[in-house]
Structure 1
Protein backbone atom coordinates (compact mmCIF):
# COMPACT_ATOMS: atom_id res chain seq x y z
CA UNK A 1 0.00 0.00 0.00
CA UNK A 2 1.26 3.45 -0.88
CA UNK A 3 0.95 6.71 0.97
CA UNK A 4 -2.16 7.78 -0.97
CA UNK A 5 -3.80 4.45 -0.20
CA UNK A 6 -3.05 4.93 3.48
CA UNK A 7 -4.65 8.39 3.46
CA UNK A 8 -7.65 6.92 1.63
CA UNK A 9 -8.00 4.24 4.30
CA UNK A 10 -7.74 6.88 7.00
CA UNK A 11 -10.55 8.92 5.45
CA UNK A 12 -12.62 5.75 5.00
CA UNK A 13 -12.01 4.86 8.64
CA UNK A 14 -13.13 8.32 9.74
CA UNK A 15 -16.33 8.05 7.71
CA UNK A 16 -16.98 4.56 9.08
CA UNK A 17 -16.49 6.02 12.56
CA UNK A 18 -19.23 8.55 11.85
CA UNK A 19 -21.51 5.79 10.55
CA UNK A 20 -20.71 3.81 13.69
CA UNK A 21 -21.68 6.76 15.92
CA UNK A 22 -24.99 7.12 14.08
CA UNK A 23 -25.66 3.39 14.41
CA UNK A 24 -24.91 3.47 18.15
CA UNK A 25 -27.36 6.35 18.54
CA UNK A 26 -29.97 4.40 16.57
CA UNK A 27 -29.28 1.23 18.61
CA UNK A 28 -30.83 3.07 21.58
CA UNK A 29 -28.64 1.64 24.31
CA UNK A 30 -28.18 -1.55 22.29
CA UNK A 31 -31.88 -2.35 22.67
CA UNK A 32 -32.43 -2.57 18.89
CA UNK A 33 -30.77 -5.72 17.56
CA UNK A 34 -30.32 -4.71 13.91
CA UNK A 35 -28.70 -1.37 14.73
CA UNK A 36 -26.62 -3.02 17.44
CA UNK A 37 -25.23 -5.62 15.04
CA UNK A 38 -24.55 -2.93 12.44
CA UNK A 39 -22.69 -0.85 15.03
CA UNK A 40 -20.41 -3.77 15.91
CA UNK A 41 -19.68 -4.44 12.23
CA UNK A 42 -18.87 -0.77 11.62
CA UNK A 43 -16.67 -0.72 14.71
CA UNK A 44 -14.63 -3.64 13.40
CA UNK A 45 -14.34 -2.08 9.95
CA UNK A 46 -13.19 1.34 11.13
CA UNK A 47 -10.64 -0.15 13.53
CA UNK A 48 -9.26 -2.38 10.76
CA UNK A 49 -9.01 0.51 8.27
CA UNK A 50 -7.40 2.75 10.90
CA UNK A 51 -4.87 0.07 11.79
CA UNK A 52 -3.94 -0.43 8.15
CA UNK A 53 -3.56 3.31 7.59
CA UNK A 54 -1.32 3.61 10.65
CA UNK A 55 1.12 1.17 9.07
CA UNK A 56 2.17 3.98 6.72
CA UNK A 57 1.17 7.24 8.37
CA UNK A 58 2.64 9.03 11.39
CA UNK A 59 0.51 8.36 14.46
CA UNK A 60 0.30 11.98 15.59
CA UNK A 61 -1.01 13.31 12.29
CA UNK A 62 -3.18 10.32 11.37
CA UNK A 63 -4.93 10.12 14.72
CA UNK A 64 -5.61 13.86 14.82
CA UNK A 65 -7.02 13.82 11.27
CA UNK A 66 -9.07 10.70 12.03
CA UNK A 67 -10.61 12.20 15.17
CA UNK A 68 -11.28 15.43 13.27
CA UNK A 69 -13.17 13.53 10.57
CA UNK A 70 -15.16 11.79 13.29
CA UNK A 71 -15.87 15.00 15.17
CA UNK A 72 -16.89 17.07 12.16
CA UNK A 73 -18.78 14.16 10.61
CA UNK A 74 -20.67 13.52 13.83
CA UNK A 75 -21.72 17.16 14.09
CA UNK A 76 -22.92 17.10 10.48
CA UNK A 77 -24.73 13.77 11.01
CA UNK A 78 -26.38 15.16 14.14
CA UNK A 79 -27.61 18.16 12.21
CA UNK A 80 -28.82 16.13 9.20
CA UNK A 81 -30.32 13.09 10.93
CA UNK A 82 -31.22 14.15 14.46
CA UNK A 83 -32.24 17.80 14.13
CA UNK A 84 -29.37 19.13 16.22
CA UNK A 85 -28.72 22.86 16.30
CA UNK A 86 -27.02 24.75 13.49
CA UNK A 87 -25.58 28.10 14.48
CA UNK A 88 -22.68 30.32 13.56
CA UNK A 89 -20.56 29.25 16.53
CA UNK A 90 -20.84 25.54 15.70
CA UNK A 91 -20.03 26.19 12.06
CA UNK A 92 -17.03 28.30 13.06
CA UNK A 93 -15.65 25.52 15.27
CA UNK A 94 -16.13 23.03 12.45
CA UNK A 95 -14.07 25.36 10.25
CA UNK A 96 -11.35 25.58 12.91
CA UNK A 97 -11.25 21.79 13.20
CA UNK A 98 -11.01 21.40 9.42
CA UNK A 99 -8.22 23.99 9.26
CA UNK A 100 -6.30 22.09 11.92
CA UNK A 101 -6.70 18.79 10.07
CA UNK A 102 -5.53 20.34 6.80
CA UNK A 103 -2.58 21.99 8.54
CA UNK A 104 -1.50 18.71 10.11
CA UNK A 105 -1.80 16.90 6.79
CA UNK A 106 0.23 19.56 4.98
CA UNK A 107 3.00 19.51 7.57
CA UNK A 108 3.28 15.73 7.99
CA UNK A 109 6.22 13.86 6.52
Structure 2
Protein backbone atom coordinates (compact mmCIF):
# COMPACT_ATOMS: atom_id res chain seq x y z
CA UNK A 1 0.00 0.00 0.00
CA UNK A 2 2.84 2.37 0.80
CA UNK A 3 4.83 1.18 -2.22
CA UNK A 4 1.82 2.11 -4.33
CA UNK A 5 1.82 5.61 -2.76
CA UNK A 6 -1.76 5.31 -1.52
CA UNK A 7 -1.12 7.49 1.57
CA UNK A 8 0.13 10.25 -0.75
CA UNK A 9 -2.86 9.85 -3.06
CA UNK A 10 -5.45 10.38 -0.31
CA UNK A 11 -3.71 13.33 1.36
CA UNK A 12 -6.05 15.85 -0.32
CA UNK A 13 -9.17 13.91 0.55
CA UNK A 14 -10.96 10.62 0.11
CA UNK A 15 -10.66 8.91 -3.27
CA UNK A 16 -12.75 6.16 -4.89
CA UNK A 17 -11.18 2.76 -5.49
CA UNK A 18 -11.30 3.21 -9.27
CA UNK A 19 -9.23 6.38 -9.04
CA UNK A 20 -6.70 4.78 -6.70
CA UNK A 21 -6.37 1.74 -8.95
CA UNK A 22 -5.83 3.93 -12.00
CA UNK A 23 -3.27 6.11 -10.23
CA UNK A 24 -1.29 3.16 -8.88
CA UNK A 25 -1.59 0.82 -11.85
CA UNK A 26 -2.88 -1.85 -9.48
CA UNK A 27 -5.57 -4.35 -10.32
CA UNK A 28 -8.87 -3.15 -8.90
CA UNK A 29 -9.71 -6.41 -7.11
CA UNK A 30 -6.27 -6.87 -5.57
CA UNK A 31 -6.00 -3.26 -4.45
CA UNK A 32 -9.38 -3.57 -2.75
CA UNK A 33 -8.09 -6.56 -0.75
CA UNK A 34 -5.01 -4.59 0.30
CA UNK A 35 -7.09 -1.57 1.29
CA UNK A 36 -9.49 -3.68 3.32
CA UNK A 37 -6.56 -5.25 5.14
CA UNK A 38 -5.15 -1.82 5.98
CA UNK A 39 -8.57 -0.72 7.17
CA UNK A 40 -8.69 -3.68 9.54
CA UNK A 41 -5.64 -2.34 11.36
CA UNK A 42 -6.66 1.31 11.20
CA UNK A 43 -4.29 2.56 8.51
CA UNK A 44 -6.97 3.66 6.03
CA UNK A 45 -10.73 4.00 6.30
CA UNK A 46 -13.47 3.25 3.78
CA UNK A 47 -16.24 5.81 3.98
CA UNK A 48 -19.92 4.90 3.52
CA UNK A 49 -19.79 6.31 -0.02
CA UNK A 50 -17.06 3.80 -0.92
CA UNK A 51 -14.17 6.27 -0.99
CA UNK A 52 -10.95 5.73 0.94
CA UNK A 53 -9.47 8.27 3.33
CA UNK A 54 -6.45 8.75 5.53
CA UNK A 55 -6.29 8.08 9.23
CA UNK A 56 -3.73 9.30 11.76
CA UNK A 57 -1.81 6.06 11.21
CA UNK A 58 -1.52 6.55 7.46
CA UNK A 59 -0.14 10.06 7.85
CA UNK A 60 3.23 8.71 8.98
CA UNK A 61 3.38 6.67 5.77
CA UNK A 62 3.26 9.71 3.47
CA UNK A 63 6.46 10.55 1.65
CA UNK A 64 6.27 14.27 2.51
CA UNK A 65 6.08 13.86 6.29
CA UNK A 66 9.20 14.41 8.40
CA UNK A 67 10.34 11.16 10.04
CA UNK A 68 8.14 9.22 7.64
CA UNK A 69 8.03 5.46 7.63
CA UNK A 70 7.64 5.55 3.85
CA UNK A 71 11.36 4.93 3.40
CA UNK A 72 10.68 1.48 4.82
CA UNK A 73 8.82 0.75 1.61
CA UNK A 74 11.97 0.19 -0.40
CA UNK A 75 12.19 -3.27 1.15
CA UNK A 76 8.67 -3.95 -0.06
CA UNK A 77 9.19 -3.12 -3.72
CA UNK A 78 8.13 -6.51 -5.03
CA UNK A 79 4.92 -6.47 -3.00
CA UNK A 80 3.69 -3.59 -5.18
CA UNK A 81 4.44 -5.67 -8.26
CA UNK A 82 2.34 -8.51 -6.84
CA UNK A 83 -0.67 -6.23 -6.40
CA UNK A 84 -0.28 -4.81 -9.89
CA UNK A 85 0.19 -8.11 -11.72
CA UNK A 86 -0.99 -10.89 -9.39
CA UNK A 87 2.31 -12.62 -10.08
CA UNK A 88 3.36 -13.35 -6.55
CA UNK A 89 5.73 -16.09 -5.58
CA UNK A 90 7.62 -16.84 -2.40
CA UNK A 91 10.66 -15.29 -4.08
CA UNK A 92 8.84 -12.03 -4.86
CA UNK A 93 7.79 -11.40 -1.27
CA UNK A 94 10.50 -10.61 1.29
CA UNK A 95 11.17 -13.55 3.60
CA UNK A 96 10.29 -11.70 6.77
CA UNK A 97 6.74 -11.05 5.51
CA UNK A 98 5.89 -14.54 4.27
CA UNK A 99 4.71 -15.77 7.66
CA UNK A 100 2.47 -12.78 8.33
Q: Normalized against structure 2, the TM-score is what?
A: 0.28
Structure label with greater radius of gyration: 1
Q: Normalized against structure 1, the TM-score is what?
A: 0.27
* Larger strand fraction of residues: 2
* Larger helix fraction of residues: 1
